[in-house]
Amino acid sequence: MEYIVRGNIPLNGEISVCGAKNCALALLGATILTDETVVLTKCPHIADVDNMLLLLKKMGKKVSRNGQTVQISGKLNTVNVPAEVATLLRGSVLVLGAVLARYGQLTLPLPGGCAIGARPIDIHTDGLKHFGVSVEYDDKGLVCKGKPQPSAFKLRFASVGATENLLCAAVLSQGQSVLYNCATEPEVVALEQMLVQMGAQINGVGGSVLTITGVQRLSGTVFDIIPDRIVAATYLSAAVASHGKVTVSNCCPQHLSAFINAVCGRYDVRLYNDAVTLNADRAVSDYGKVVTAPYPGFPTDMQSLLLSLAALSAGGTTKITENLFENRLQHNADQLALMGADISVNGNTASVRGQCLFGAELCARDLRGGAGLVVAALGAEGTSAVRGVEHINRGYVDLAAELSSLGADIHSVGLDK
Ligand code: EPZ
């Protein structure tokens, strides 16, 4: 499937943000910690979440969905994560901590996901080893044995997934565990809050040091998935690229502060409790120097949006350094060059001189990069085709329909793979 996008039409109107993919995936993994019913509301209808629900179902959980509400209950009937689903989504790694906490063993085929560079899980496994779990690899993938025992562990990097897994691993282990250098992304904090609601004892919620006192069991709960900050930033970027005026509602502006400072602050922006209104009816010269970093730094997941906006800016130079996923710059830089962009990539830094872009045939190779290409197409003169929409569908409910609702000329052609 591909998107056909005619650019240079200012977007206008209000658009609401869906629940966050990366929050949904972490919370779904954590449902394994209890047999009782966990109800998650605002659960987005996207491919990665559907695959995670399928994975839970294949492992024995009862799963039902009614609109944006999903209900998960029951026990697992296997600790072997099914390869045919695990390899479809990177988020499958997020069952690791919870399965070990409940069942003390697990086989996990190596996860799939985006082509954004090496995605090691050594921090997850080092932490588990610290918790006394035996970790080996065989031809089926990762094989772990043993219930996690209380311990203290410092993550060598504030990894989102490793924090989530180690937290889940610790909540049922009898005694006190301390995790140092935890990720503080809003999706991680939401997981901490849901676990507390389920009866977990966690001190330091929201911070980088978590002290966990294991409890015997966790109970069911009802929890709202937080708004997707990357989707919100995508709509704001679409407004900037097209020189439009857009209100993004049902979002959390606080979670967007790095993006708002680097991008929106250069335009006329209004912040509300749960909305951002951006009037981008003029071009800015550049976006200065931006470096991706763990929260509250500028998110790697918004880097390809910024790359497109920098390429479309009015003649100035923006420098973007990608510090998290090494392959995230080059592919989009090459694609934007097809539109006439002036980008040179040196190591993990792109130097982008803004200018007018023209429609071209583009190819998305990963989810966030794909959204970046759509944004570039919205700001380009003429018509672009963006192939690889299946990557975009992993994280956006229906990007073409959402952008059309703001007046964009975008439609999909061909069949989804
Ligand atoms: C999460 O991935 C997100 N995915 C990613 O979103 C996001 O880009 C990333 O966090 C950073 O914010 C989910 O939440 C499902 P990390 P995760 O562990 O947990 C290195 C999207 O498009 N590292 O914080 O895998 C790693 O290589 C996606 O929605 C190790 O070296 O990210 C990277 O450089 C893609 N060893 C850095 O840490 C490890 O064991 C951050 O990765 C783990 C990570």
Tens of pLDDT along the chain (417 residues) come to 999 999 999 999 999 999 999 999 999 999 999 999 999 999 999 999 999 999 999 999 999 999 999 999 999 999 999 999 888 888 899 999 999 999 999 999 876 545 545 578 999 999 999 999 999 998 888 999 999 999 999 999 999 999 999 999 999 999 999 999 999 999 999 999 999 999 999 999 999 999 999 999 999 999 999 999 999 999 999 999 999 999 999 999 999 999 999 999 999 999 999 999 999 998 899 999 999 999 999 999 999 999 999 999 999 999 999 999 877 899 999 999 999 999 999 999 999 999 999 999 999 999 999 999 999 999 999 999 999 999 999 999 999 999 999 999 999 998 654
Residues forming beta bridges with residue 93, ordered by sequence position: none
Alpha carbon distance 366, 413 (integer Å): 19
Alpha carbon distance 109, 115 (integer Å): 17
pLDDT of 89 reads 84
Is 164 near ligand 1, meaning CB less than 6 Å away? no
Is 368 near ligand 1, meaning CB less than 6 Å away? yes
CB 269 within 8 Å of CB 37 = no
Is 120 near ligand 1, meaning CB less than 6 Å away? yes
Per DSSP, 91 falls in state G
Q: Which atom of ligand 1 is nearest to the CA of 161?
A: 19
Burial class for 415, CB neighbours closer than 10 Å (0-12, 13-18, 19+): exposed
Distance between Cα 91 and ligand 1 center (Å): 10
pLDDT of 113 reads 47
Distance between Cα 14 and ligand 1 center (Å): 31
Give DSSP secondary structure letters for 368-393. HHHHHHHHHHHHSBSEEEEE-HHHHT
pLDDT of 326 reads 79
Pocket test for ligand 1, best of 89, 94, 119 (most atoms within 8 A of CB): 119
Q: What domains, with CATH codes, occur in the chain?
A: 2-18+227-413 (3.65.10.10), 21-224 (3.65.10.10)
Q: Is 337 helix (H, G, I), strand (E, B) or coil?
A: helix
Pocket test for ligand 1, best of 21, 22, 393 (most atoms within 8 A of CB): 22
Residues forming beta bridges with residue 138, ordered by sequence position: 141
Is 107 near ligand 1, meaning CB less than 6 Å away? no
Distance between Cα 324 and ligand 1 center (Å): 8
Q: Is 244 helix (H, G, I), strand (E, B) or coil?
A: coil
pLDDT of 139 reads 85
Nearest CA owner, ligand 1 atom 33: 324
What are the φ/ψ torsions at residue 151 (nearest 5 degrees)? -165, 175
Nearest 5°: the CA angle 171, 70, 208 is 35
Q: Which atom of ligand 1 is nearest to the CA of 22?
A: 14
Is 272 near ligand 1, meaning CB less than 6 Å away? no
What are the φ/ψ torsions at residue 99 (nearest 5 degrees)? -65, -45
Residue 159: count of CB within 10 angstroms of its CB: 23
Sheet containing strand 409-413, edge to edge, reads 361-363, 383-387, 2-6, 409-413
Rounded to two decimals, the pTM is: 0.96
Distance between Cα 300 and ligand 1 center (Å): 9
Residue 154: count of CB within 10 angstroms of its CB: 13
Phi-psi region of 236 (alpha: psi -120 to 50; beta: other; left: phi over 0): alpha
Q: Is 133 helix (H, G, I), strand (E, B) or coil?
A: coil
Is 114 near ligand 1, meaning CB less than 6 Å away? yes
Pocket test for ligand 1, best of 160, 182, 231 (most atoms within 8 A of CB): 160
Is 119 near ligand 1, meaning CB less than 6 Å away? yes
Is 145 near ligand 1, meaning CB less than 6 Å away? no
Question: Over 155-212, what HEC string results?
Answer: CCCCCHHHHHHHHHHHCCCCCEEEEECCCCCHHHHHHHHHHHHCCCEEECCCCCCEEE
Residues forming beta bridges with residue 352, ordered by sequence position: 318, 343
* Token output for 259: 């993006």
Catalytic sites, residue numbers: 114
